[in-house]
Structures are given as structure tokens and as C-alpha cells.
Structure 1
Amino acid sequence: MYSHSNDYNDISLDVSNISDSFPVKLSKRNHGKNCCAICGAKSTGNNFDVLTCSSCKAFFRRNGIKPLNQFFCHVSGNCKIDERTRRQCTACRLRKCFAMGMVKERIRTEEQNQRHRALVEANRLQKLKQSDQLQKHSQKISKIRHDSISSMDSDINQVDLLFELFYDNAQQIISDDFIFKFDRDLTDVLNLYCVPVSCLITFLKQLSQFQQLSIDDRLILLKYNTKVLIPILIYLLNTTFDMQILINHPGICNINNKIADAYSLFSYIVPDDNRLLVILIIVLLFCPCLYTTDSLYDVGYISDQSRQLIQYAYDEYVQLLWYYVIDKCDDNEQQAALMYMKIVTACLQLQKVTNEIYDIVKCFVQVDQLHMMMQSILHLT
């Protein structure tokens, strides 16, 4: 099992020296006009009247309305705030937010958030009603698409709605101090995965195509496909919420290197595009033969009605992924095809690494101490 001594090397996924064999660089320092005014990371736009990254945006949303004297600096009161140190002192980070001009009055209340989501949904439904593509599908499928958050009319703007939906749900679950620290018993580490898996399930519950499935068929999809999605999900949460991941090198049977390798597969293809990762997660979730060589329909006894819904959802999201890649490549289909193939290759590599990790888990995990959710997802029940 893992060593509990203090002489191991904690290696963060934010740096490139995860190991000599598996170089990982999940975040990079940016310089120039597109930098976050608070920590210097790559900005995502103007948030609360200041150009910031998604991490500082989320930080200010959570803490901006709290009294400043609630937080205390345990050092000098003038801590350096950058991409590496921004989590170390809440007081100095919040002071810098205000000093750079962030406006707490811009923070929406929960009631305002609900009104905003209702307005977004109303606009989405209006666009779906006007879509000619709805007329090409059967009446049953059209009704599902009409009510579905995840229904696509090949409009790239739908990607923003999906990411916003994922972000709004995940931020309610991921706490500021949540850390993946791989220096404990493997069973304890696996139990930490309940948090990101909960984020995924909460998000999926908002998708009407998922809701239309029977409870049993939903569980089959989650049981057979989620464990391949976990590395993408962890990487997405890490880059979106600055979730800390510390890896004790190398771990049982080199498992930590394999986990880091799985996390890093998409960092080189889409290093700054979390929206694409959200689409990819949904595509893989509805994939009927993601983890095994057999069809999910055969191994899981999914009903005929659910097969139609799953296949429809899979086809629609694959199409949306392709449209989004083309848009990302400025309508250059040759370049888009190359990027798409890189994504497919990364997915195949992810399957291979996931299998290797799972083989180690089956040998060393203490099943009776594993959370029931993880027992089901890892097929250990």
C-alpha cells in the first residue's frame, strides 16, 4: 500500500515533472493582455468588471459578498498572488480582487441565478421551435428534443449552454479545499472519486435524453461507461475550478504514473477548451461500446426503447462535436479532421490506460471499505 512517511515527493498535476516517463503539464503561465488581473493565468473574459480566469471568477463569486475582515493573512498581509500561490491565502487574494476593481454587486443571488437559468432555457426553447431540423425526426423524438437541455440543432451556441449547465452544477459540489492527494490507502483514494462522479451524475440528470431512460438503463450506462470518463472529468474539474491534485510518485504497481498519464491525454489536444471536454464526456457516456468489445446493449440488457434514445443522443452529440471542432478550426475541414482524429486516438489510449488501472485496482482495493457508488462503477460488486 501507499507509504505514509514524509520523504515522498508530492507532484502536482500543475507541473511538468510528474515523472520522467510521463511528462504532464496541465496548466501554464500566461503573459500579456489576455492574462487574469488577479493571478496572471489565462483569462476567460471580463468577470465582475475585471479580466480574470475561471478560478478567480469562481473564487470571487464564493467570497466577494463575505466581510473582508472575516479572512486573515497568517504571513505579512501582502502575499504574492499568482497562478501557483493563489490558493494559499484567501485574505490577500480577496483584497487583490477588490484592489483590481472587481465589483461584488455583480454577484448574482440564488434567486437571480434561477431567473437567469429560466431566461436561458426560454431562449433555448424558442430557438428549438424555430429549427427546421426538428421536422426531420419522428414525433416522439421531436418531443424529447423540444424539452431537452441537451438537444442539439447544430448550433455552436448550444455548447456554451452545456458548459454553463455543467459549471453551475459542479460548483455546488466542489468545495474550495477539495484536494486529491495520492498518499493514502488506495481504497481511500478511490473513495475521493465520489465527489467528481457526483458532479457528473448531477449534470446528467439535467439532460432530458438521460431522464427519458428507465432507472435501470441509466444505471447500466453509468456502470459501464463512467470509469472511462473519470480521467477526463478530473482534468476538466482541475482546469475549471483549480482543483488541487497531488500525486505521490509512483504508487502501487506504478498506478500513480498511469493515473497521471490518463489525466494528461487531453491536455495537449485541448489545453484551453473545457467546453469541448464537456461535449466529449456526453458523447462517451452515450457510446454503446466504450469499455468492452461487446455492445453495451448485449451486456446490459438495455430495452429497445432506450436503445433508440441512446443511439439518437450519441449521434446528435457526435455531430455537435464535429461542428464544434470545425468552428474551432475556423472552418478548415482538413485541420478539423486532424484534430478529430487526435481526439479519437486519445480516447483509444484512455481505454487502454483505464484497463491497466482497473487491473491494479481489482488486486489491491479493499472492497468492503469502498463506497457503494465506486463499487458499482468499478464493477466490484
Structure 2
Amino acid sequence: MIVGQILLGLTGLSISLYAWYVKQQRQRNPKYKALCDIGPNASCSRVLTSEYGTGFGLVGSLFGQNSMMNASNVYFGMIFYILQIIFGLIATPLFTKFALVTSTISCLGSIYLAYILAFVLQDLCLVCVASYAINAGLFWSNLRTIYSIIDADLRRDINRHKFGTTELCGDNASIVNYGVLTCASCRTFFRRNGFNTKEIAVCRFDGRCEIVKTTRKYCTACRLAKCLNVGMNPDLIRKEELTKIKRKPPATNFQESTEHITTTIVLNTVPQTSALDLVTHDSLLTSTDLLTISNIVHAFDTFSPVADIRRTIDTLHSSASNSQFDSQQTIQMLSSFSNCLLLFLSSTPDFKVLTTSEQRSLLQRNMFGLLSLGGMYLMRESGIFDTPENEMIVALLYDNDTIRQARLISKRLDDPILIKLMLVALAFSSNCLTQANHRNFDRDSLLHGTFRLFGSQNVYVELLWKYLNHQHDDYQAVQRFSKLIKLFLDTFKFSCEVYETNELYKKFIDIVTEEAEKSYPNVSRTLKTTRLFERLMRVYHDCMQIQQETDIYFTKQLALFLSSS
């Protein structure tokens, strides 16, 4: 439609230019005969030079013959067609409305001039008739464009606001499900969990979680409780679905073992997230996208040390001896973070297709960036920043001011799925090094081939954008994406500053990166209990010994100074 509008505008402009040429020639030479002058009652030149060919025969009577408004009809036509071309090139809703208004006015003018042509001048002007037809075509084209815009808006509003919003999470409701007006996501959630209340993990915030559209994925217990409170009835779940569950054949020992491990992982990971909760009828995410997101979330949760760290913290808090965190627990936590991210990255298909040397080069380049964002997220999910007592576990690496900054950054990591997608996209960046690193520079397999990473990264960035666009409208999605980029830059800057100013942290990060390269592809879940953990402990004891020797030296110097004075 837009292309047709532009073509009609160009045709109309060409006819207007020809009419202007005919009128100029007829005014110079009254005997001039144009190509469109085909008979006594079919003369374009006579019609164009008549009193109705200037100001439509009306402007002169209203504003005077010398008024600027009393211009040739040809000039009005040129301006009109140029505007139509511009409106067609800039296809915005506002310009489309202007195009319809101006084409409507032109059609009314065409009807008036057609009446003058037929009943007053009693002539047939081929140029005039052609311009009338073009004006009608432009009006029809603009009308169809407006109709398509209105139709699309109405369909979108019908799909999104068919019944208003649901009381459960505040999302746009689609239909009444199980006795309550709910969105598709909550319908799917309740169908899966309505009969499995005993398997739901207990809320770690005593059932005080707020269930809204952006937080409904975080706490299964509170979400299910709110489903029941607003009136969703488990008895209304289709009997066929319940029958399928009852008729499920008994699993083999291997299947039972696998399901037990998977269930344990899901129940022990706090907060719980499920990419399958994303399904809606108008989602931009395809079934393949949903499967990819589900695999990413499951892979991260499988290797996540959050449950172990939380158990360690809870054990220390509940211990009668009131034990305190020591260096071994801090180093073990850092080792588990590195192990989690390494196993998570190595489980992605895009990482597996790289050669072993390329995989090691990628780890060398991006391990610091992954630890910056992933480590901060894991600390948040482990509850390290929940209380001042928990923060003591990172006191070995961070001072009080650094812990405060880390706490502020961690509060912004509020979407687990978004962070996990960001980690995968970040893993395939060309470089996340903090400074020039000449170690093994000549053996970097990606030195002249980082373009190989762009395809993988683009896939995950596009998936991340689809997820954002699904969760929010276009404007909010752009805002969230911009904030996500700034969040990573702030996290990366924070880690770089700590890396430059904290010698112990710097050595830890260097060792973690080096061991990640050496351990791959023979990495396993026991990495944190082997060479990496031992090296980190040795570095810590060496630093502590140097610090003690330094303190003793300055103490002696101070004593000598005081005794001499």
C-alpha cells in the first residue's frame, strides 16, 4: 500500500508538471495546441487557462484576485502530490493520518472540479480526469493503510485486554480457568502444581512474597497459595489429565534415580524459576525458544552451588557453638562459583562444537566476565547479602565499603532467567579481559577468528531480547535491555576495581582462570575439592603469612621509635 501510494504520488506529480507546462505555453501563445487537445470539447489547454483553473474559481472571489492564495490549481496539485510522497516514505501513524486527511480534501476538490468540467465548461480534460482518478486512488490507499493500523491495534487490544487483568498476578487475563479469571501463565502453573502441593518447597520468606507479573516465577509456594486464595479450584482440573498421571507406567531404576536427582535440584534451588511459565498465546517466543530457555535454566540450576551454600550458612547459624565463617569456607564458595560457571558453559552446544584449544582460549578471555556477573548473582541467590552475619563469608575478599557496593549491585539482579541468558551471551563475547594479558598470547586459537563467536552470541542475544519483549511492551523492553547492559558494565567495573586494588582477590581470580583452562575438558563437579581449592588455600596462607610478617616488622619499628623517643 505504501509503495502504491508513492507510485501514485509520482504519477500525479508528473501530470501536474505537464499541466503546468501546457498552461505556460497557452498563456504565451493563445493558439498553442497541446497533445491532450483532441477536439473542440476535449481541450486540456482551454480548461487549464479558464477562470476555474486558478484558485478553483473560488479563491479570487473570497480573498481577491491578487491574493497569494489565488494560485494556479497546478501548484496546489504539486504540493499535494509531494506531501503524499513524503507521507508514504515516512510511514508513521501521524503522517498516515495527515495523508488520509489531505487525500480526502483532494477528493472533495476533484468532485467539485468534475462538476465544473461537465456542467459549466462542458469540456473533457484528459489531464484533469487522470488527476481525479489518481486522487481517488490515493484516498483508497490511505484509507486501507489507516484501516490496517486500526485493525492491528484492535486485534492487539482484544488479545491483551479481552477480559481485563487477573487478580492473581496483575497480567492481562485471557479466559476463566479453574473458576477464576487468569492469564495463560498462571493457568499452566496451577494445572502443573494443583495436585502436587506436598512437593512444593516451603517459602523462605514465611509466605510474604509479593506475586505480580514480574515476580510470579520466584516463589512457587506463595504463587500456589495465592491461586487457592483467589478461588482457583484443583477439583476443576480436567479428569483426563489426572487419569494420565495415574496411568503413568512405573519407571526403571535409572529413570527413578534421574527424576529424584532432578526433583532434588529443583526443590533445593532458591528461588525457583521455570522457563515454561513463559508460555502465552501471543508470545513472541517459539516452542524452540522456550525449549532453549528451559535447557539453559535447568543446566544452570543443575550445577548451581546455591543450595549447598545455604545449607552451610544455616548450619553455622543453628550451631550451638555459634561458629564463625573461616577462610576455608570462603575459598570453597569461590571454587564452587567457578566450577558452576565452567560446567554451565561447557554444557552448551555452541561451546561443544569448538575445538579444545578454542574452548580454552574462550575461557581465558571470558572467565573474569562470567565470574563478575555470575558470582554476584550466585552470592545474591545464596543469601549472602541478606544479613550482616551472612556477609562475613566474603569479608576475606571484600572490605565493608566493597561489600556495601556489592550489595547494591546484587539488588538489581532481580530476574533469574534474564541473568542466565545474559551469562550465556556473555560467554561468547570476543574478550572480557580486564587488561592486556600476554600469557599464552601466541597460542590463542581465537586470535584471528573471533567472528566464529558472533553467530552463537547473536542467537542468545536475540533469545534474550525475545524474552524481554515477551515480558514487557516494546518501550519497557528497550528500557530493561539498556538497564541490563548498564548493570553488567557496573558489575564489571566493580570487579575490575577490586581486581586492581585487592591483591588477594587478584591472585584468586588469576588462579581460577588458569585452572579453568587447565582443567578443561576434564572438568568435573569435584573440581572445587581438588587442585583449584588447594592452590587457593596455599595462596591465602602465603598472603596471610606475608601480612603477619609485615605487621610484626612495623610493630618492631614502632616499638624502636617509641623507645628512642
Query: Take 1:292 and 1:371, find their aligned partners in 2: how far apart are those partners?
Result: 11
- Relative distance call for 1:110 and 1:195 in structure 2 (3 A) is farther
The answer on whether the counterparts of 1:325 and 1:339 sit within 8 Å (CA) in structure 2 is yes
The residue aligned with 1:178 is 312
CA distance in 1, matches of 2:394, 2:334: 19
Residues 58 and 243 from structure 1, CA distance in 2 versus in 1: closer, same or farther, beyond 3 angstroms? farther
Is residue 283 of structure 1 aligned with residue 425 of structure 2? yes
Match of 2:463 among 320, 323, 335: 320
Q: How far is the alpha carbon of 1:337 from its aligned partner?
A: 1.2
Q: Secondary structure at the match of 1:177?
A: helix
What value does the CA root-mean-square deviation take over the aligned residues? 5.3
Deviations 1:102-132 (A, max 9, x none): xxx99x9861575899xxxxxxxxxxxxxxx
Please say if residues 229 and 284 of structure 1, whose CA atoms lie closer than 8 Å, have aligned partners that are also in contact.
yes
* Equivalent-residue separation in structure 2 for 1:237 and 1:175 (angstroms): 10
Counterpart of 1:204? 345
Report how far residue 373 of structure 1 moved: 3.6
What CA distance in whole angstroms lies between the structure 2 residues aligned with 1:154 and 1:189? Answer: 39
Q: Deviations over 1:175-219 (max 9, x none)?
A: 6523499x7676862442111221222222221111122223323
Measured after TM superposition, the shift of residue 237 of structure 1 is 3.7
Does 1:165 find its partner at 2:299?
A: yes
Please tell me whether the aligned partners of residues 500 and 506 of structure 2 are also in contact (alpha carbons under 8 angstroms): no
Name the CA shift for 1:292/1:206 in 2 (closer, same or farther; >3 Å). Answer: same
Shift of 1:372: 5.2
Cα deviation for residue 281 of structure 1 reads: 0.7
Give the structure 2 partner of residue 220 of structure 1.
Answer: 361
Corresponding residue SS for 1:265: helix
Secondary structure of the corresponding residue to residue 445 of structure 2:
coil
Aligned-partner Cα distance in 2 for 1:278–1:376: 23
Q: Which runs of 5+ in 2 are unaligned?
A: 1-166, 170-185, 210-220, 229-233, 235-245, 262-285, 317-323, 517-531, 540-565
- 1:329–1:335 CA contact under 8 A, matched in 2: yes
**Structure 1 unaligned regions, length at least 5:** 1-31, 35-42, 61-79, 85-92, 118-151
Q: Corresponding residue for 1:255?
A: 399
Please list, as runs of the form range in 1=range in 2, the aligned pairs for 1:1-381 lying within 5 A after superposition. 45=189, 49=194, 57=200, 111-112=255-256, 114=258, 155-170=289-304, 174=308, 177-179=311-313, 189-237=330-378, 246-248=390-392, 251=395, 255-259=399-403, 261-262=405-406, 264-265=408-409, 267-268=411-412, 270-271=413-414, 273-292=415-434, 301-303=444-446, 307-330=450-473, 332=474, 334-362=475-503, 364=504, 373=512, 376=515
For 1:325, give the aligned amino acid.
L
Q: Which residue identity lines up with residue 285 of structure 1 in the other structure?
A: A
Does structure 1 retain, via aligned residues, the 8 Å contact 2:379–2:385?
A: yes
Q: Is the 8 A contact 2:421 2:460 kept in 1?
A: yes
Q: Which of 1 and 2 has greater Rg?
A: 2
Superposition deviation, residue 329 in structure 1:
0.8
Q: Compute the TM-score of the two structures, normalised by the length of structure 2.
A: 0.37
Q: Structure with the greater relative contact order (CA < 8 A, sep ≥ 6): 1 or 2?
A: 1
In 1, Cα distance between equivalents of 2:491 and 2:325: 24
Residue 166 (structure 1) shift: 1.9
Letter in 2 for 1:197: S
* Change in 2 beyond 3 A, CA 1:187/1:175: closer
Alpha-carbon distance in 2 for matches of 1:366, 1:279: 27
Q: Paired residues, what number?
A: 263
**1:342 CA drift (Å):** 0.8
Q: What residue identity is the alignment partner of 2:336?
A: V
Change (3 A) 1:236 1:267: same
Q: Does structure 1 retain, via aligned residues, the 8 Å contact 2:346–2:352?
A: yes
- Write the distance in 2 (CA, Å) between the matches of 1:298 and 1:366: 20
The letter of the residue matching 2:422 is: L
- Please give the alpha-carbon distance, in whole angstroms, between the structure 2 residues aligned to 1:253 and 1:194: 13
Q: Does the CA-based 8 Å contact 2:330-2:394 persist in structure 1?
A: no
Amino acid in structure 2 at the alignment position of 1:323: K
**Local SS of the residue matching 1:287:** coil
Q: CA deviation at 1:161?
A: 2.9
Deviation at 1:349, TM superposition (A): 1.0
In structure 2, C-alpha distance between the alignment counterparts of 1:306 and 1:116, rounded to whole Å: 43
Tell me, in whole angstroms, the C-alpha distance in 1 between the residues paired with 2:329 and 2:305.
23
TM (norm. structure 1) is 0.51
